[in-house]
Amino acid sequence: MIQKTVPAPADLGIEVIGVPQGSDVELDLKLEAVVEGVLVTGTATVQLHGECARCLDDIAYEETFDLQELFFYPGREVEDDESVVVDETIDLDETLRDAVVLELPFTPLCSDDCLGLCPECGFNRNDDPAHSHGEKIDPRWEGLSELLGETDN
Ligand SMILES: [Zn+2]
Ligand SMILES: [Zn+2]
């Protein structure tokens, strides 16, 4: 096993969540020579930073992703999505990108039961689950309540 910490490449993420460029990526890799090339398997542990889709709070957590990629020896025709050993080194950026980006949640949440923001005033309801603006009168009944108010007089 090879254990290595490398800086995260740029754009390792999607709009709402991702790995900050330059943050630590811990790689735990096994390299096996196979007939066609080098088979890389293992895991990458990254620091994810994002924004809760409901309450917009910052989210930060660590997650481990599985990696597997066959790097073909040079001199062989490869498809666009296949990798090649170049100058006796392998470039894991694309492998990392495929493993991490495809697994990221499109609507990350700070917690599964996040209460989100108040639709009326934007208050973060996680700070006070009892937050409310009182009973709202249905606008269709406003005329009626005025009428009733008049008869009360
Ligand atoms: Zn939230
Ligand atoms: Zn409110």
From CA 118, how far away is CA 37, in angstroms rounded?
A: 55
Say which residue, 149 or 94, is predicted with more confidence: 94
Question: What average pLDDT does range 26-31 have in this prediction?
Answer: 96
The band of 88, judged by pLDDT with boundaries at 50, 70 and 90, is: confident
Domains of the chain, residue spans? 2-114, 117-153
Residue 140, number of CB atoms within 10 A of its CB: 7
Tens-place pLDDT, residues 39-86: 999 999 999 999 999 999 999 999 999 999 999 998 877 787 888 888
What is the distance in A from the centroid of ligand 1 to the CA of 73?
47
For 119-136, the pLDDT digits (tens) are: 999 999 999 999 999 876
Instruction: Determine the distance separating the centroid of ligand 2 and the alpha carbon of 105, expressed in angstroms.
Output: 27
The span from the CA of 115 to the CA of 127, in Å, is 9
What is the rounded average pLDDT for all residues in the chain?
Answer: 89
Distance 134 CA to ligand 2 centre (A): 10
Secondary structure letter of residue 91 according to DSSP: -
Count of other CB atoms within 10 angstroms of residue 152: 6
> What's the gap in Å between 112 CA and the centre of ligand 2?
21
Nearest of 79, 90, 86, 108 to residue 19 by alpha carbon: 108
What is each CA distance from 126 to 94, 110, 119, 121, 130, in whole angstroms? 38, 10, 13, 14, 9
Q: Identify the nearest ligand to the CA of 107 by its number.
A: 1
Please check the confidence at residue 24 and state whether its pLDDT lies above 80.
yes
**Closest ligand to the CA of 120:** 2
Q: How confident is the model at residue 12 (pLDDT cuts 50, 70, 90)?
A: very high
This prediction has a pTM of 0.76
Residue percentage of the chain with pLDDT more than 70:
88
CA of 142 from ligand 2 middle (Å) equals 21
What is the dihedral sign for C-alpha 108, 110, 113, 117? Answer: negative
| Confidence check: pLDDT of 153 > 70 | no
13 pLDDT above the threshold of 70 = yes
